[in-house]
Amino acid sequence: MPDYDLVIVGAGAAGLSLAHRVSGINERRARPLRSALVEPPPGPRTPPPRTWCFWETDGGPWDHLLTARWDDLSVIAPDGTEHRSSAAPYVYKMLRSTDMQAHVRDQSDRGRDDLRLTVGSVSDGPDHATVTARTPQGRTVHLTTRWVFDSRPTAPSERGRTRLLQHFRGWFVRASPGTFDPASAVLMDLRPPQPRRGVAFGYVLPLSDREALVEYTGFGREALSTQEYERALTDYCALTGLGEVEVLASEQGAIPMTDAPFPPRAGRRVFRIGTAGGATRPSTGYTFSGVCRQTAVVARALENGGVPVPPVPHRPRHLAMDAVMLRALDRGRVRGDDFFARLFAANRLADVLAFLDGGGHFGREVLMGLSTPVAAMSHTVLEHTWHGLCTRLRVLARDGRPSGGTPR
Ligand SMILES: Cc1cc2nc3c(=O)[nH]c(=O)nc-3n(C[C@H](O)[C@H](O)[C@H](O)COP(=O)(O)OP(=O)(O)OC[C@H]3O[C@@H](n4cnc5c(N)ncnc54)[C@H](O)[C@@H]3O)c2cc1C
């Protein structure tokens, strides 16, 4: 009998979300699921604290932990025109990783071990999988388990055609009282100078009337140096009229934006979750709500005794649309600032948010598509389809079977 029912590798957004759901299951079960949540001791592999923003309707599972929430959002076009509207039925929410971590770790779960280990390898097997890890003292340990959910960062299984990054640096700033409106956030301000390809924008997420997270973001092939971000943030604060602010803390990161696949199934008993398992929406970099959808499916299967394969939490047609959009941006066929300004100006905010989060109706998506630069996008659709066809034919000629099968 293996040591555990499941081992969760990594206590980031995906690992914590899954551990939280398993604790919920254990509250209802006489025999708890035995789980291990494995996170390395603080060091180079552990990411610094971060904030996760996402939108959903009111009454979500993390509402009591939110740092901030906004009912109204605005998008500012390159010419300074502001489109402010209610996000209803959604609320834009900010959760700090440290609050989520503390909550999940404090949650009583009879079945869970929280382990400080650095995982080296995971091996699959017909009856159980084995996670091999190192203790902080350097000792090797082996954990046997029915299922492994691995959220360690990984490379995609195949090269994508387009590989961009959403790269950013943000400042938590303090200004004089009354500077910010805590009811409303700026989701996308497209006024900063634009790169030749991709897009650059700022955003302002007020935490109170005098504190906010002000961020500078780019979609492009390369991240900037910290010095370049600092300059961009200083310029952006000047552009928004904030001028001199006290910087209390900062966050910086890069999220993959690519049409390369991140398959969640890595073996018979080994699965990937989170960014490693395809939870990141390629066109936006948003991951948190994809993670929540993914772990909900896993938890249902665990509770019902099924095979807990995490789904890719995005519809295939959305992934296809994202691939086209990323390609068009990367080839410089569309101007990113123009693309996003038109998208938000011509459509109801709730419809755009629904689409970007994997919901929405096909008919509305077609109308939304018409508000983007149609000729450039159609050109890219044709090129993309042609390329896909050629790749499939090449694989067929080489192997005698199509590519992209799921391992069983
Ligand atoms: C600064 C920043 C801000 C972001 N903001 C948002 C946002 O606002 N909204 C949104 O939707 N997305 C956001 N993202 C994208 C995404 O939500 C996050 O990257 C999210 O943390 C991804 O969750 P994850 O569980 O896949 O990976 P992570 O949260 O990075 O978790 C991976 C875990 O694996 C652990 N690990 C690594 N190596 C090992 C090992 N050898 N053994 C054991 N454990 C290991 C790490 O310590 C880490 O805890 C942001 C990303 C960054 C970098």
CB 219 within 8 A of CB 199: yes
More confident residue, 373 or 194: 194
- The rounded Å distance from CA 47 to ligand 1 centre is 7
Give the mutation target among 287, 289, 291 for probing the ligand 1 site: most ligand atoms within 8 A of CB. 287
Nearest CA to ligand 1 atom 50: 52
User: Residue 395 pLDDT more than 60?
Assistant: no
Report pLDDT for 406.
Answer: 36
Condensed to tens digits (0 to 9), the pLDDT of residues 371-386 reads 776 666 666 666 666 6
Nearest CA to ligand 1 atom 44: 10
User: Residue 62 pLDDT more than 70?
Assistant: yes
Nearest CA to ligand 1 atom 2: 253
**CA-based R_g, the chain, Å:** 22
pLDDT above 70 as % of the chain? 91
Instruction: Give the largest Cα separation in the chain, rounded.
Output: 68
Backbone angles phi, psi at 23, to 5 degrees: -60, -40
Condensed to tens digits (0 to 9), the pLDDT of residues 150-162 reads 999 998 888 888 9
Report pLDDT for 376.
Answer: 61
- The rounded Å distance from CA 13 to ligand 1 centre is 6
Report pLDDT for 107.
Answer: 87
Report pLDDT for 383.
Answer: 66
Question: Looking at beta carbons, which pairs linking 296-304 to residues 24 or more positions away fall under 8 Å?
Answer: 296/21, 298/18, 298/21, 298/149, 298/271, 298/273, 299/18, 299/21, 299/22, 299/24, 299/25, 302/5, 302/6, 302/22, 302/25, 302/33, 302/147, 303/25, 303/28
Domains and CATH numbers, the chain: 4-50+96-157+261-304 (3.50.50.60), 163-258 (3.30.70), 316-399 (no CATH)
Q: How confident is the model at residue 397 (pLDDT cuts 50, 70, 90)?
A: low
